[in-house]
Each structure stands twice: as C-alpha cells, then as structure tokens.
Amino acid sequence: MTHSADVATGPDLRALAVARIARQRLVALAIPAAILAYLVYIFFAFDIAGLANRLRVDNMVTLLSDTWSYKTHVTRDNRSGDVEVAIEGERQGTYPAGEAPDWVSLGSDRTEIVLDDGHVVVFEGADVRYDIPGYGLVTAGHDGRRIVLETPDGSVPDFISASNARVDITTEAGRVSLTRTRNEVFRYFAGWELFFFTLSSPYHGHGPLEILFGDRIDPDRSNIAGAWQDFWGNPMWRHADVVWALGETILMAFLGTMGAALVALPLAFAAARNFAPLVALRFAVRRVFDFARGVDALIWTILLSRAFGPGPLTGTLAILLTDTGTFGKLFSESLENVDGRQIEGVRSTGANALQRSRFGVIPQITPVLISQILYYLESNTRSATIIGAITGGGIGLLLTQAIITQKDWEEVTYYIVLIVLMVMVMDTVSGWLRSRLIRGT
C-alpha cells in the first residue's frame, strides 16, 4: 500500500525511526526513575529509617518462642509461703494444691525444681538457691525490703539483672525471678500446652492408645466419649468455639456470595444493553451497582452493624451488598456478549420472555456465572475473616482478640494455621466444583 511512498521518503523515515527510538529510550529510563523517586518519597513519608527504633525486638522474641513452646511457672507467694505450679500461669493450667509435675518436689518449706542440663533451683524458705553447672551456686534472698544476690565470684554476670527490688536470672534452661512479693521459676517446654486436655480433665497425661484401649479412666464415662467431651470442651483452647467460628466465617462467605448472585442476576438483565430497552432504567441500575461496589465492604459493615449489631448476619449482608455490585457488573457484561441466535431459536418456538431467558440466555452464561461465583466464594472466605474482625464474628474475631491480649501467641499461631487451611480448602473445593460443573454443562 503505502510502502512505496514510505521508501520514497527514505531519509525522513530514518529520522522518524531515530526519533522514535530516542523517545523509547527516554521512556525506558523515565519510568524506573519515576518509580525510584516515588519510593524515595515513600521512604521519608513512611519514616522507614525510624522503623529500626520502633521495631520491638523483645516482642519478636516472645512471639517466636511462644509459638512453639510454653512455660510452666513455679511460684512461691512470699506473704503466705505457698508454692503453686501453673502452666503458662493460667488458672485452668494450675495444678491442684499439693500436686506438681515430677520435676518439682514439694516439701513443707523446701521446694526443689529440676531444670534441663543439670540446672537445679531450690526454694529454701524465702531464699532461692540456683545451682548453674559450669558457673556455680547463685543465692538470692530477702533482707527486709531489699533483695540480696550472692554469686560465686561476687560479680554480676550478663545473664543476671539485679537491683534492690528485683533479681532476674535467665539461662538456657529457664528463668528465675525474685520480687518482694514472690519468687518464680519458669521452665520452658516445646509444644502447645494442654492442647488436648486441661489439668482438670482425668484424661490429662494419658496417651491415645491408653484412652482407646486401656482401662476406664473416669468411672462415670466410657473413655472415648469422656475424652471427646473433655477435648471438645477444653476451657483453654475452646475447640468447640473455634470450630463454630470457622463455620461462621464460611457461612458468611457462602451466604454473602450466593445471596449476592441471586440478587444480582435479575438486576443484571436490567443493566444489559441488549435486554433493557429503557436507557434510564439501565443507567439507574448501573449506578446502583457502582454505588454498592464503591461504598465497599468496610463502610457497609459499619453501617449495618449499627442496625443489626455485631455478628455473622451483619458480615453476611455486608458481603452480599458489596458483591451485588460486583456481580451485577460482571453478569451484565457477560449478558451483553451472549449470542442472539439461540434466543431467536427459542423465541421461534413461541417462548415468552422468562422462558427465553431461562432456555436461551442462562445456558450461555452459566460457565461464566459459575466460575465467577466460585472465585468470589473463595475470595470472600478471606473477606469474611477480615469483616469478622471488624463486626465481631467468626474466626476473625477470635484472632484479633488473641492478638490484642498479646499473651497467647500459640493460640494466634493456631488460628492462623486454621485460617490458612480454611482458605486453601475453600480454594481447592471451589476449583474442583468449577471443573466439575463447567465440564458438566
């Protein structure tokens, strides 16, 4: 066509090409430069340099050690002289008075605590003697209101922090702490404490084989039923509540997604160019979709929780409203792309409008519909976790509560693992359903 003309104006073409290449080079340089400039701006706007100061290293250590280990407290109340052993210092993990695990031997006024690697701590009255292998015997006691520390060589090493009001000795085997009111020893163990049974359950300390095949442990209940009851009702880990919360989150996602699809489908017909004859109606419905999407789940959640209070219904309705907008837009777009010939064919049999859409339109858009709905079902499981954190329902609430207390990081880890598993299962199920249903139609 115009090739000959272009060739005729050879030098111009060359100049043009050179100019274009130069511009291309400039763009290729300008975009990374712009991104770099933006990142530099962010570096100062977000105060990345100050992050190192704000980073709470102690929190990180607590978090990391707490996720895979737990500690048992041996506490001597210095007013009454009573010694108590409690797992994680919690009420539900407290051993009954006079009982202790085998590494603690309780005496009338002398308690011996055996830690790992030959470390031994002895409570002798109000005094504490800690025999550290390779270092020597450290003694700490109370002298009136003061706390006095004696070390083998008289100096205070790095792993001991001592003042008149408090002494802390931290070794790899555990931690000893003395204050005026109490002397405490912490011993660390790997794992999650009392995950199956709390100390109040008779099944604590019995292995699975013993429970399944051994003698009846609790005379009132059969082993399996009793163990299940105590596990399910575990007051520390609250397995029943956690499962309920997971169910609630999935319920929010399911009801929200399906409800939105049911509401959006008929509305989408009113918003599609080839089905809605009235321009005004089409315009109005589209703006409704844009509004529902634009307001966003966050604002819907806030508005709805004012009317319905916190709970799964609020979360469901928030997802339903947001996704009605999304689905409406997606469905009306796919309705605009349907093939008119099939509808004509159905019309030629004398079908009315409803029958035409049922047999002429719906079968065409089903694959798109199903794949969108299933995709959003999976994505809404994640949204429901987040909305649950705001509106107070489901696993999201449990997670935020556990994080806010800043204490039970093993529970936080447990919830995170459950959430990730839940999302992955929903992902797999929706993928499987998609391949089954779409191939089936």
Partner 1 sequence: MADIADRGAPASANIHETYLAMVRRKRAYSFALLIVFVALMVAGFSVANDRNAGGFIQGFPQILDFPADVVGEAWQNVSELPGHFVDFFPALVETINIAAVSTLIGASVAIALALLSTRGLALWPRAIPVFRRLMDIMRAIPDIVIALVLIFLMGVGPVPAMLAIAIHTAGALGKLFSEVAENADLKPVEGLRSTGARWLQQMHLGVLPQVAPNFLSYALLRFEINVRASAILGFVGAGGIGYELKNAITWGQGQFAESAAIFLMLFATIVLFDQLSSMARHRLVHGGKA
Q: Among residues 44 and 213, whose Cβ is nearest to partner 1? A: 44
Distance in Å, CB of 319 to partner 1, minimum: 11
Q: Among residues 202 and 431, whose Cβ is nearest to partner 1? A: 431
Distance in Å, CB of 12 to partner 1, minimum: 23
Distance in Å, CB of 51 to partner 1, minimum: 6
Distance in Å, CB of 9 to partner 1, minimum: 24
Q: Among residues 360 and 393, whose Cβ is nearest to partner 1? A: 393
Q: Among residues 114 and 258, whose Cβ is nearest to partner 1? A: 258
Q: Among residues 126 and 437, whose Cβ is nearest to partner 1? A: 437
Q: Among residues 182 and 329, whose Cβ is nearest to partner 1? A: 329
Q: Among residues 270 and 403, whose Cβ is nearest to partner 1? A: 403
Distance in Å, CB of 196 to partner 1, minimum: 25
Question: How many Cα atoms are found within 13 Å in the side-chain-facing hemisphere of 202?
Answer: 16
Distance in Å, CB of 308 to partner 1, minimum: 4
Distance in Å, CB of 84 to partner 1, minimum: 29
Enumerate binding residues for partner 1 (CB under 8 A): 35, 38-39, 42, 45-48, 51, 54-56, 59-60, 63, 248, 251-252, 254-255, 258-259, 290, 293-299, 302-304, 306-314, 316, 382, 385-386, 389-390, 392-393, 396, 399-400, 403, 406, 412, 416, 419-420, 423-424, 427
Q: Among residues 173 and 389, whose Cβ is nearest to partner 1? A: 389
Distance in Å, CB of 60 to partner 1, minimum: 5
